[in-house]
């Protein structure tokens, strides 16, 4: 099973600032990585797949990068609606696995 590790666990950021979230895989994924956003009491929402492709309707301030074992989600200028939990997911191998998440909170 591929283990996904996200850091930091919590990120405190002021509105308008840039947020950089990391996700590391225990083995190479190529570009088979996705990112999800989840707000309290809500279902996750697909943000990014293929490491860098934005899903339909996702604003351009969200960008993904990386390949192999190290990946990054960047939110260029945090809006109030962006404070949430972010999780990465690998789909290079079964079982599909998720990271533990990074909570982005208001500083």
Partner 1 sequence: EVQLMESGGGLVQPGGSLRLSCAGSGFTVSNNYMTWVRQAPGKGLEWVSVIYSETSSYYADSVKGRFNISRDKSKNTLYLQMDSLRAEDTAVYYCARLRSAELVFDYWGQGTLVTVSP
**Binding-site residue total for partner 1 (CB under 8 A)?**
22
Supply φ then ψ for residue 81, to 5 degrees. Answer: -80, -5
C-alpha span between 55 and 43 (Å, rounded): 16
Query: Does 94 interact with partner 1 (rule: CB under 8 A)?
Result: yes
C-alpha span between 15 and 99 (Å, rounded): 25
Q: Of 30, 32, 40, nearest to 88 (Cα)?
A: 32
Query: Does 58 interact with partner 1 (rule: CB under 8 A)?
Result: no
Query: Does 37 interact with partner 1 (rule: CB under 8 A)?
Result: no
C-alpha span between 14 and 17 (Å, rounded): 6
Q: Indicate which single residue of 50, 52, 58, 61 sits in contact with partner 1 (rule: CB under 8 A).
A: 50
Query: Does 46 interact with partner 1 (rule: CB under 8 A)?
Result: yes
Interface segment toward partner 1; rule CB under 8 A; list 19-27, 37-45, 61-69, 71-79: 37-45
Question: Which chain residues interact with partner 1 by CB under 8 A?
Answer: 32, 34, 36, 42-46, 49-50, 55, 87, 89, 91, 94-101
């Amino acid at each position: 099973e591929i283990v996904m590790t996200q850091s930091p666990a919590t990120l405190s950021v002021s509105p308008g600032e840039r947020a950089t979230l990391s996700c590391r895989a225990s083995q190479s994924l190529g570009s088979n990585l996705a990112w999800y956003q989840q707000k309290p009491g809500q279902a996750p929402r697909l943000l990014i797949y293929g490491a860098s492709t934005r899903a339909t309707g996702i604003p351009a301030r969200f960008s993904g990068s990386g390949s192999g074992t190290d990946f990054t989600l960047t939110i260029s200028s945090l809006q109030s609606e962006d404070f949430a939990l972010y999780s990465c997911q690998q789909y290079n191998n079964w079982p599909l696995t998720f990271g533990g998440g990074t909570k982005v909170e208001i500083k």
